[in-house]
A and B are shown apart, each in its own frame.
Chain A
């Protein structure tokens, strides 16, 4: 039987453009979504109620994304935090024909080559999930807490450059926020300016 609630959620995801008119503010409930991952599996935010969820906007051709993947920085974070029970969802909102657009099998090959370890990669070529969260850059990072509240929205770290050499001296906002939140403390820097390439939306 068709689940009416899921249909509503899917409709909401499709109507992401309308939803983007609403604020995605730290402290507010994170917008629910349903999306298909690179293995063809449906992923719903609500499936992960009770867990911390990281959303990472991704474009494998973008120099700022490359900074964090070619250095192994992003994969290190993915492994460290998924090992601690955090759910890590990478999202690709590049439209077909734009930089960063990949087919599911190309993405799975990339994950293997890069030794990346997200929980899943959400394929969002229509951009509805990106617009729903008002994702601006690659990377752009969000953290949702176990109650479904958005607790972080912003950059991966405090060095808005594409130089790998800057990573060592950077303060990683995502790690800091996860350490604080998983330790039961409030997140001190909960909104920062995300930096990177623009998300290559269809519109």
Chain B
């Protein structure tokens, strides 16, 4: 399709207008396009609807995970939902490691990220009016420098007897859900031993693990840029994690995400055994 400069100008103007007025599903912010998406085309009473805020980032720019690491700030969301609707937690896809300097490590997303959640729909809703979903999103976008941003996004979906998938967006949600950490397989076990300067995270998987990376969920527990030394065993592996200088008190559990190449990302919540006195 060929656009004349005039059409292109008009299109651009519409985009600019759209981004400056509340009530649109997407906004063009600095170095990113941000959009409120639904996995379904319609909403059914008594079910759940999966929504997500989709960030398409300009090359080189990034946003942050729920634990941003040594610097940065995760996006935050304030949902505006009709009475009786309740928003669940954001299901954060596994992050990437980012290194703003050799002494600092952050956790976040490049290129694009869908941050999904499920909204519960009450058992009875009127089908005369479409359902209006709104969210106020605040986020920090960084390259060498950081820019705080905010947007109000809105989306309306019709009510139907049964909710059907939106063929345009469902594949993106499906792809993203594969990146959302899952519980460890039932037969696996994670445990942590604490010593003076480090945690040893042992994973028993019934098979050797030769490559793995741990992303801490709680800040200030492990030293983010420190190399994670993996010691494979015939039943799994032990990952050595250097303690953070900020950690002054013993912790009882270590929470985070374990990423093993070729596997889904796993949620870890491991009890911590304290050093023997």
Contacts and interface: CB of A to CB of B under 8 A. Distances in A.
A24 B145 contact: no
Interface in A24-40: 24-27
Nearest to A131: B103
A52 interface: no
Contacts of A24: 245
A137 B103 contact: no
B124 interface: no
Contact of B101 (A23, A162, A201): A201
Contacts of B102: 201, 203
Contacts of B246: 153-154, 191-193
Interface string A124-163: 0000000100101100000000000000011000001111
Interface in B88-128: 100-104, 106
Interface on chain B toward A: helix, strand, loop, or mixed SS? loop
Interface residues of A, number: 33
A62 B248 contact: no
Contacts of B219: 193
B67 to A, nearest CB: 9
A134 B103 contact: yes
Contacts, number: 76
A61 B145 contact: yes
A181 B148 CA distance: 35
A118 interface: no
Interface on chain A toward B: helix, strand, loop, or mixed SS? loop
B142 interface: yes
Given A62-B146, A196-B71, A197-B145, A191 B103 contact: no
Interface in B212-260: 219-220, 245-248
Contact of B71 (A98, A134, A137, A203): A137
Which of the four size classes fits the interface of chain B? 20 to 34
B99 to A, nearest CB: 10
Nearest to B73: A160
Contact of A137 (B70, B197, B245): B70
B98 to A, nearest CB: 9
Interface in A145-203: 153-154, 160-163, 190-193, 195-201, 203
B149 to A, nearest CB: 10
A25 B146 contact: no
Nearest first, the 9 A-B pairs at minimum CB distance are: A198-B71, A198-B100, A201-B101, A193-B219, A191-B246, A162-B148, A136-B70, A193-B220, A137-B71
20 contacts: A23-B197, A24-B245, A25-B245, A26-B248, A63-B148, A136-B71, A136-B104, A153-B246, A160-B73, A161-B138, A191-B245, A191-B247, A191-B248, A195-B71, A197-B142, A197-B146, A198-B70, A198-B71, A198-B104, A203-B101
Given A160-B73, A203-B101, A203-B102, 13 more contacts: A25-B245, A26-B248, A27-B248, A61-B145, A136-B103, A154-B246, A162-B73, A162-B140, A198-B72, A198-B101, A200-B144, A201-B101, A201-B102
